[in-house]
Homo-oligomer: A and B are copies of this chain.
Amino acid sequence: MSYARIGKGRNLPEQLEDDLRKAIVSGELAEGQALPTEPDLAQRYGVSRSVVRDAVRLLIAKGLVEIRRGKGTFVRAARGEAFAEALLLALARNGGTALDIEEFYGLLLPGIAALSAERASSGDRDRMLLRAEAYLEAFGREALDPSSDGPGLLRALFEAFMNEILKACDNKLVELVGGLLVRMRSFRDLAPEEGAREGGVAAIIELEERAIMGLARAVAGGKASEARAFAVRLCELRPSLRARLASTPAGDMPKLSFDMLAPIVQDS
C-alpha cells in the first residue's frame, strides 16, 4: 500500500480502493491477512472513517476481502467467485441461456482435452483416472436408484474429474473459466423421475462409461488427438437436450432427465 494521502479530484473511496486492491493483487496483502483497522487506514491515508468504510465495501463487492465478525477484515482466497458472479450477471442481462453456456463449453473442451493430454504429469494422470472411476460408480448408482446419493454428490464428482483435466493444462485462464463453465453447466442435476425410459438405464450407464473413460484414458495416455475426438463427442447435444437448454435462462437450473443426457456414442 502506498499510504499516500489521497484527496481532491476523483472519488475518495475509489482512490483508496484502488490502492488497497493493488496491494492485494500484488500479494503485498496476502490471502488470509488482516487489513489494517479502520481508524488506522483513515489516519494513514488522511481520510474519514466513512471513506474507509466505503472503500472496504467496494473491495467486498469485488470479492477481494471479507468481514469476519468481531475479528476484522481479511483478504479472501483468490478463487474467482466475483468473476463468476459478474459473468453470469452479464450473460443473464444479454438474454443468454443454458444453451449458450453448453455450446461454449463444447467449443472449449476439445482443445483443453488435447492440451491436457500433452501436459499432464503422471500424478495428474493417476488422479484423473481415479476421479473418472469415482464419478462413474456414482452415476451408475444414481441411474439405477435415483434416491441413493442425490444429484449433489454426482455433480461434485463430475466436477472433480473435470477439474483434474483443467489443472493438467497448466493454464490459469483455463482453470478459472473452465472451472466456472463446469460449475455453470449444472448438468448433472437430474430429474430422473421425469425420464429414464424403461429398460434404457443400463444402456445409458454403458454410454456414459464409454464416453467418460474414453476421455480419461486418452488424456491420461497422452493421446492428444484421441482426447480431442472424445471431447467433441462428449459435447454433442441430443435435440431434446438442446431444446430444453435453449428455453432455460442462464443461471437457472434446467430440468433434465437421464435420457436427454445419454452421450451420443456410436463407435468408441
Contacts and interface: CB of A to CB of B under 8 A. Distances in A.
Give the copy number: 2
Contacts of A106: 111
Given A94-B176, A100-B173, 19 more contacts: A21-B89, A25-B92, A57-B58, A57-B61, A63-B86, A78-B90, A80-B86, A83-B83, A83-B86, A96-B172, A96-B176, A100-B174, A101-B173, A103-B115, A104-B171, A104-B173, A107-B174, A108-B108, A108-B111
Given A61-B61, A171-B103, A90 B176 contact: yes
| A contacts with B: majority SS | helix
Nearest to A113: B107
Contact of A61 (B25, B58, B107): B58
- Name the 5 nearest CB pairs between A and B, nearest first: A61-B61, A107-B111, A96-B172, A78-B93, A80-B90
A78 B108 CA distance: 24
A172 B94 contact: yes
Contacts of A95: 172
Interface residues of A, number: 46
Contacts of A175: 94
Interface string A46-89: 00000000100110011110000000000000111011011101
Contacts of A103: 115, 171, 173-174
Interface of A: 21, 24-25, 54, 57-58, 61-64, 78-80, 82-83, 85-87, 89-97, 100-101, 103-104, 106-108, 110-112, 115, 171-177, 250
